[in-house]
Amino acid sequence: MRLQSYVLVVTLVASGIVFGTAVLAGAGAGRPTAVILADPEGTVSDAHFDGRTAVWIEVGGAGRDPRAARLAVRPLDAAGPRFRDLAGVSVDPADPLGWLAGGPRVDGGTVVFATRDGLGGAARHALKAYDLATGALTELATGAGAAVIREPDVRGRTVAWADGRGADLDIWAMDLDTKAAAPLVADAGNQSGPALSADWVVWLTGQPGDPVREVRARRRSGATVSRTLNPGGLAVAVAIDGARVAWVGKESPRGTFGAWLYDLGTGRSGRLAAGLGTLGGIGLSRDWILFSTPRGGPSGEPGAPPVDRMPGELVAYDATAVTSLNNLERYLPGTVVAYTTAPVVAPAVAGAQAVWAEPDDGARGHATDRRVMRLFVVEGTLYLPRLDQNRPAR
């Protein structure tokens, strides 16, 4: 995949930012176009995307109960999104996504997400699955009080999540066909944020009160020993594709943020970037490595806005060009694919296609804390803007 320059076209409508697809044509084939997928009016959670279907959860909206939640499903070969009302969830209008404990995530025709109803010891936790073919919504697992269920991921017919039914958080997994569930990882300390590939599971691990959050990996079957990928580090998000793992975080709790790539086959790692501001997530596919960072460095300086209100950049790396993990920072420069009014949230990548969530800046008539979504689907050769093009005024 070769990086070229283009002018990004984003379709907007009067009522706010839309979901759109940017279909990027090759050189000489004209400017890229954008297609409206949806114009969400409610508060929207992080989206996810498996290359065929985009999913998100939306609360409230014009003419709707501000406490009502619904799952939005948008197949790319359909004319528009379809919705599934999520009954039995108590949504607080002051914190409309506080009930959502992770997800949605989509793969293989199944959407998974976790919910929390109530607080403290009275809380009820649930893991739910939505079948894209039948429209059936199934409750897969439940917990109460400290037995939390959160941060699910799905790969094929397996779902994994962080589960608090033991003395600390463990990673559990379930076969979606048999509904058989068992611990997948029960290392000492808290395990969270699992991500699945066909053969591996990666996650974050840490001790209560310890700022260290290490990235660990093990094979999904036949393995009992975990491999630590960033000893002593502080990771905030991890992604996996095949045997490659990417994460964002710090080399130590006192360091600055950066992004890393690790090959589970060779056991070698390389740093993509360092000296960055707080990072909001990372996506990894065979084609892209994608992460977000605020422009202007970390917040906290006198007069600096909160990090979620700082202008952001979405940075892409050409994963197909990675032939060696040596000197990645020198030989694999990143390219800014989007400048945003605030850092984007949880970028997801499938092949050469990307999804991210972007907080609205209130300039289009929405509440300033409303989170809206942008979905861009890139087909064919990937063309990215040069760093010296389309820079907004600082």
Q: What is the CATH number of the domain that holds 238?
A: 2.120.10.30
Instruction: Please tell me the number of Cα atoms within 13 Å of 357 on its side-chain side.
Output: 25
User: For 48-52, 110-114, 129-133, 305-309, which range has the lowest pLDDT when averaged over its residues?
Assistant: 305-309
Domain that includes residue 191, residue range? 45-358
- 384 belongs to a structural domain: no
- 34 belongs to a structural domain: no
Q: Over 80: is that where the pLDDT of 382 sits?
A: no
The angle subtended at Cα 316 by Cα 314 and Cα 321, nearest 5°, is: 175
pLDDT band per the 50, 70, 90 thresholds, residue 88:
confident
Q: What is the pTM for the complete model shown?
A: 0.82
- 29 belongs to a structural domain: no
What mean pLDDT is predicted for residues 244-267?
87
- 188 belongs to a structural domain: yes
Can you list the alpha helix ranges (DSSP code H) found in 233-300? none
Instruction: Supply the Cα-derived Rg of the chain in whole angstroms.
Output: 20
Structure tokens at 362: 């209130």
How many domains in the chain? 1
- 387 belongs to a structural domain: no
Complete edge-to-edge strand list for the sheet that includes strand 288-294: 282-284, 288-294, 312-318, 335-340
Which residues 6+ apart lie within 8 Å of 214 measured at CB? 204, 205, 206, 228, 229, 230, 231, 232, 233, 235
What is the CB neighbour count within 10 angstroms for residue 351?
Answer: 17
Nearest of 222, 242, 365, 347 to residue 293 by alpha carbon: 347
Q: Which residue has the higher pLDDT, 290 or 37?
A: 290
Q: Which helix H or strand E contains 4, and what residues bound it?
A: none
Q: Over 70: is that where the pLDDT of 106 sits?
A: yes
Tell me the pLDDT tens digit for each residue of 130-141: 999 999 999 999
- 255 belongs to a structural domain: yes
Q: Over 80: is that where the pLDDT of 186 sits?
A: yes
- 14 belongs to a structural domain: no
In whole angstroms, give the CA distance from residue 29 to residue 225: 52
User: For 99-103, 288-292, 359-363, which range has the lowest pLDDT when averaged over its residues?
Assistant: 359-363
Q: Over 60: is that where the pLDDT of 376 sits?
A: no
In whole angstroms, give the CA distance from residue 157 to residue 228: 26
Which residues 6+ apart lie within 8 Å of 221 measured at CB? none
Residues 307 and 298: beta-carbon distance below 8 Å: yes
- 186 belongs to a structural domain: yes
For 120, list phi and psi in degrees, rounded to 5: 60, -140
My answer on whether omega of the bond before 40 falls inside 30° of 0, hence cis, is no
What mean pLDDT is predicted for residues 31-42?
52
Structure tokens at 120: 């403290």
Exposure letters 184-199 (e unless 16+ CB within 10 A, then b): bbbbebbbbbbbbbee
